[in-house]
Chain A
């Protein structure tokens, strides 16, 4: 079964850091672009970042540039999102998604709350 499972969310103070992980199974992880997509409480979807199969191309939404870093470890079938200098507006459910031409597989999401 094709599956994505996120972990690492939680409560963090403004200015703090958090690292999200996404474990992939049931498909050849190393052959797909991967993305992070977030959804603030009661709001719509917002794409955050994506990364090419070998990590040679990476893109970010402007609001996280310089603060978030997407990475992957193909040997571990894992995707990561290092989030630094967190702000209240980063509070959201973070989903990892397989990203060939569309987000065709989604994880269940992990909640990140930035609050003092």
Chain B
């Protein structure tokens, strides 16, 4: 059971916009920044969004993040086949004194 809650799966067709939610509590998302990671099959995770809504250099602006209260969301617009991957949210938890992850969302491009 993960501290942060994500839907296990999401899907969309090419060109569509999809969102992935991440729910937490006052000790993690409510108190700290949220980061998102993309893990393509068979590879190490990659930082996708940091500080709630910032994109590292090289990440397309099709990816965006937002946070409100104890929840966060990742949005992917103009969905492409290469976006098919697992997506994880993460935040520091002040009660646990550690990083916590969501369980991950497997995105399928139909």
Contact = CB atoms under 8 A, between A and B. Distances in A.
Contacts of B37: 45, 103
Interface residues of B, number: 24
B44 A45 contact: no
B56 A46 contact: no
Contacts, number: 57
Interface string A80-106: 000000000000000100000111101
B50 A44 contact: no
A44 B104 contact: yes
B30 interface: no
Chain B interface, >50% SS class: strand
| Most chain A C-beta atoms within 10 Å of own C-beta, residue among B2, B90, B99, B104 | B99
Contacts of A113: none
B77 interface: no
A59 B92 CA distance: 11
Nearest to A60: B98
Contacts of B90: 45, 47, 102-103
B44 A95 contact: yes
A21 interface: no
B52 to A, nearest CB: 11
Cβ-closest 7 pairs across A and B: A47-B99, A102-B35, A102-B50, A44-B104, A106-B44, A45-B101, A104-B47
Interface of A: 35, 37, 44-47, 50, 59-62, 95, 101-104, 106-109
